[in-house]
Amino acid sequence: MSDGSENGGAMLAVVLIAATIAFVVIGTMWPTKAALAYTGGQGLTSSSSTPEAAVQNLGDEIRASAWQKAYDGLANKAQFTEQEFEHDLKGYYPSLRTYATLDRFEVFPLHASDSDAEVRLKLYWSSVVGISEGTRDLHVVRAGDRWQVEWPIVKKPVVPPQVIPVNYLRWDVIYRGAGDDWGAQDVEAPHVRIVDMRPVERAEGVVILGELLNEDVVPAYVSVNATLIGKNQQPIATEGSFDKISHLLLPKQVTPFLINFPNATLADVGSVRMTPFSTLVPASADPVIEIDNEKLNPAPDASLTGQVINQSGQVVNVAHVLGTFYDSTGHLVWVADEYLDRALLPQTPESFNIHIPEDLARQISSERTIVSTYSSGGSV
């Protein structure tokens, strides 16, 4: 091999190695979207040279579940422990938030001066039942050439020692025998009736609203299906109420329901076939959830706000608040819901805020709220 070839080869080796290093540096300094998905959005360098950047970094660290890093960067970390900080975000008791991951977040500057600033951090948590939102207004302070967040910690709620009498109603069901197929019940299904139904055209498609009554004297597990029938008498689509209903109805209880038909238009619909379904199940009236301080807030940002209070001695891990909205003549206008992503502790109020579409808010003059719950067991 000639010297010239060897020199050329050496140059090639240097070029390839240098290019490889350059590619790695570029890929690390400016990571691709796919790569960022595994770092919680964090790159190699993160600057806190502005209040927004400091909050952005904190959001990235929360998304990456880098609790220690997030805690270490806080200006007021001496006021609470890292564990308290994590529990403040993820919940002190098992709840939707406990197992949620931060899907994304938004940063809104509210006010700034040379030494401090107010920044709003809007967090979108991905939970098993969907996205839940949370907002924190953060005070950010300058510390030398960088900014640090003061975290507004919400300490663990303390439930006072007490005795809570339990005197709720309960229905048990005795089936035919141990060898029976669970599904082959020898009793008649509870009588349920759709007491109201209304199709509505929305931007996302057709929505069927309604209310279902358990007319029976036994509890019922219910669901509702709807089939849109075209003007040519052919079915267009069938959908179910899914989680926009309270599936467990005690005797004489009413639940609202909402069924979505994405991409359908009311003009194509000739009729709607409703199919309620019920089955007998054991049930109890516990836990009793009280709804307090309900208030209809007008547009803009129309909403139904209030508080739910767990009257039982058990922790309710997840609560689902369903609001039914009526106009001044008592006609059904809308059904909306919200999952509370914090556990309901006994006798401890928890706020809810159900969003109402702006265009419907003006028609609403009254509402009715029900709460369904999920508990994985255990008491405080």
Partner 1 sequence: MQKTELLERSQRPLPLSLLLMAAVAVHLPLLLMKLPLKSYDTNFHIFFASHYLHHWWDPWNPKWYAGFSQTTYPPLPQQWVAVVSHVLGLEMAYMAVQLAAILLLVVGVYRFATLWVSPRAASYAALASVFLGSESFLVYSAGQLGTTAAAPLYLNALPFLFSWVRRGSGRSFIKAVALFTAAAAAHHATLLFGSFFFALPVLALAYLDRDEDGERVAPPAFFARTLAIIAIVGAAIAVVLLPFWIALIHYPVTQTPIPHPSRANYILSPQWGMNYFVVPYGALILALPFVFWRGSTEKHLRPLLLGFWVAFLLGLGGTTPVGPVLLGRAFNVLTMERFSYWATLLALPIVGVLAVELVARFRMRAAVSLTILAAFTCALAVGWTTYHPADAEDFDVSPVAAWLNRDGHDQYRYVTLGFGNKISRLAMMTDAGSVDGEWNSGRMLPELTRYGGGALTSSKYFGTAGLEALRAMLMHADHYGLKWVFVRDEYYDPLLTFAGWRPVDHLNDGTITIWSKDGVPPAQPLNAPQIPPHWQDVIWGVCPFGSSIVAILVLLIPEKRRQAAEARYPAVRDGELGLGRMVS
16 binds partner 1 (CB under 8 A): yes
- Strand (E) positions, the chain? 101-112, 116-127, 130-143, 146-150, 170-171, 192-202, 205-214, 220-230, 235-240, 248-249, 254-262, 269-280, 283-284, 289-297, 303-310, 318-326, 332-340, 349-355, 366-374
* Contact pick of 181, 233, 234, 330 for partner 1 (by CB under 8 A): 181
* Cβ at position 369, least distance to partner 1 in Å: 16
168 binds partner 1 (CB under 8 A): no
* Cβ at position 318, least distance to partner 1 in Å: 5
* 287 and 308 Cβ atoms separated by less than 8 Å: no
Q: Using CA atoms, how far apart are residues 358 and 360, in angstroms rounded to an integer? A: 5
Q: Using CA atoms, how far apart are residues 60 and 57, in angstroms rounded to an integer? A: 5
* 264 and 228 Cβ atoms separated by less than 8 Å: yes
* Contact pick of 72, 103, 180, 204 for partner 1 (by CB under 8 A): 103
372 binds partner 1 (CB under 8 A): yes
Which residue number, 125 or 334, has a Cβ lying nearer to partner 1? 125
187 binds partner 1 (CB under 8 A): no
Instruction: Please report which helix (H) or strand (E) contains residue 62, including its range.
Output: helix 51-63
Report 297-326 residues binding partner 1 (CB under 8 A).
Answer: 317-318, 320
1 binds partner 1 (CB under 8 A): yes
Name every residue whose Cβ is closer than 8 Å to that of residue 153 and which is 6 or more positions away in sequence: 76, 79, 80, 84, 85, 88
* Cβ at position 176, least distance to partner 1 in Å: 15
**Quick one: which segment of 18-26, 148-156, 162-170, 327-335 binds partner 1 (CB under 8 A)?**
18-26
Q: Using CA atoms, how far apart are residues 210 and 225, in angstroms rounded to an integer? A: 11
Look-up of token digits 């048990």: 172
**Quick one: which segment of 8-16, 200-208, 327-335, 359-367 binds partner 1 (CB under 8 A)?**
8-16
**Quick one: which segment of 142-150, 159-167, 204-212, 237-245 binds partner 1 (CB under 8 A)?**
237-245
Interaction site with partner 1 (CB under 8 A): 1, 5-6, 9-13, 16-17, 20, 23-24, 26-28, 30-32, 34-39, 42-44, 96, 99, 101, 103, 126-131, 181-183, 221, 223, 225, 238-243, 245, 247, 277, 279, 281, 317-318, 320, 339, 372, 374, 376
